[in-house]
Every structure is written in C-alpha cells, then in structure tokens.
C-alpha cells in the first residue's frame, strides 16, 4: 500500500464472516503461535468480555484487534496488520480506536508483547503505554513478554 490518507479505511466490529480473512493474516503474522479458527469463533460467540474490530479497505480486511473489557480494566488480546499494509499508520490508527472505545468504561489498558517485537513496542510507546514488568517464558517458544499499560483517563 502506498502512503495514503486513511479516508478509504473503515474500522468496524468483526463478524463471523470476517474470520476466514482474519485467520489468514493471523497465520502469516504469528507463524509459531497463531490462534486457531475456533479461538476466533469462541471469542466472537462465547466470550462476553470480548470486543473484536477489523480495518477494511473495500472488501478486504487488512487489520484486526481484540480487547477484553473486564469491569474497569481493558486488555489487548491481539492486534495485527496484513504484511502488505504495514508501516502506513494502520496499526496506530486501530490502536487509538480501541483505546478510545475502551475508555468509555475502563480506566486502564494493558497488554503483553514479545521482548523482541520492536515494531509493536514502538506503536504502544507512541500511544503512551509504559512498561510494567516482565513475564518470563511467557510464549510457547520461551521468549519473555513485557507487560505494558496505559491510563485511559485522558484518551
Ligand atoms: C505491530 C503492528 C501491528 C504495527 O502495525 P503497522 O500498521 O505497521 O503500524 P504503524 O504503521 O502504525 O506503525 C509502525 C511503526 O513501527 C515502526 N517500526 C517498524 N519496524 C520497526 C522496528 N523493527 N523497530 C522499531 N520500529 C519499527 C515504524 O517506523 C512505525 O513507526 P513511525 O510511524 O513512528 O515511523 C504490525 O507490525 C504487525 O501486525 N505485526 C505482527 C503482529 C504483531 O506483532 N502484533 C503485536 C502483538 S503484541
């Protein structure tokens, strides 16, 4: 995608019909630890705390993000942008959208991110997230996770 205005992009709730496109992005983004199709179906159909969003460009889904809202605490469960569309501001746009959505009911948002995931850490830092600790061996391959969090009070 060429650098362009974000006017043609739409952010909306993820539906069951979106899952097959989302799953393709998921598989390419998280090669060793991708979610199953069933995991997405479970989140959309069974998890009352879950809210999932997609970014679409025409009929194509180019990004998605999931959050859990539990009382006044929000947690990002996943966020990914199709490889062809990265570094165009889509990730930042989606992150700001879910922060704004969560701020209606929650006071803080947190997440775990791989220590070596510099691109993701960069967008979280830009959005105001700070580091809250490390979860050792958090991922299946043994990599540590950094916990990050942000106040949603001034979003
Ligand atoms: C993290 C991710 C969602 C970002 O999406 P994106 O649309 O590329 O994000 P943006 O275009 O808004 O911003 C990317 C920023 O990261 C920076 N960046 C990219 N690669 C980087 C790297 N290796 N080190 C540091 N910064 C990097 C870009 O320069 C850009 O910053 P800038 O706008 O200040 O120049 C995307 O890389 C992705 O889907 N990764 C795979 C899935 C993933 O890791 N999800 C996070 C799980 S915690």
Q: Please state the atom number of ligand 1 nearest to the C-alpha of residue 118.
A: 24
d(CA 87, CA 91): 8
Domain ranges within the chain, ordered by starting residue: 8-151
| Whether residue 124 lies in the annotated active site | yes
Name the residue of 86, 98, 121 whose CB sits within 8 Å of the most ligand 1 atoms, as the mutation to test its pocket: 86
pLDDT tens digit sequence for 46-61: 999 999 999 999 999 9
Name the residue of 1, 95, 122 whose CB sits within 8 Å of the most ligand 1 atoms, as the mutation to test its pocket: 122
Q: Please state the atom number of ligand 1 nearest to the C-alpha of residue 93.
A: 12
Using a 6 Å CB cutoff, which residues line ligand 1?
29, 79-81, 86-92, 113, 117-120, 122-123, 126
CA angle (61, 37, 83) in 5-degree steps: 35
Q: Please state the atom number of ligand 1 nearest to the C-alpha of residue 124.
A: 1
Q: Considering only residues 21 and 7, tell me which one the structure prediction assigns the higher pLDDT.
A: 21
pLDDT of 39 higher than 60: yes
pLDDT tens digit sequence for 91-118: 999 999 999 999 999 999 999 999 999 9
| Whether residue 97 lies in the annotated active site | no
State the burial class of residue 89 (Cβ atoms within 10 Å of its Cβ: 0-12, 13-18, 19+): middle
In CATH, what number does 8-151 get? 3.40.630.30
Percentage of the chain with pLDDT > 70? 95
Name the active-site residue from 23, 52, 64, 124. Answer: 124
């Amino acid at each position: 995608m060429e650098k362009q205005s974000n006017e043609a992009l739409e952010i909306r709730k993820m539906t069951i019909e979106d899952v097959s496109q989302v799953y393709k992005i998921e598989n390419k983004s998280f090669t060793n630890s991708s979610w199953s199709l069933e995991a997405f179906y479970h989140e959309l159909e069974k998890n009352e705390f879950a809210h999932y969003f997609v970014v679409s460009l025409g009929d194509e889904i180019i990004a998605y993000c999931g959050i859990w809202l539990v009382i006044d605490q929000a947690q990002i469960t996943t966020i990914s942008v199709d490889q062809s569309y990265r570094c165009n501001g889509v990730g930042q746009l989606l992150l700001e959208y879910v922060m704004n959505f969560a701020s209606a009911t929650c006071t803080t948002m947190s997440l775990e991110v791989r220590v070596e995931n510099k691109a993701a850490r960069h967008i979280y830092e830009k959005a105001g997230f700070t580091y809250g600790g490390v979860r050792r061996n958090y991922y299946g391959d043994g990599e540590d996770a950094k916990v990050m969090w942000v106040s949603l009070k001034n979003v």
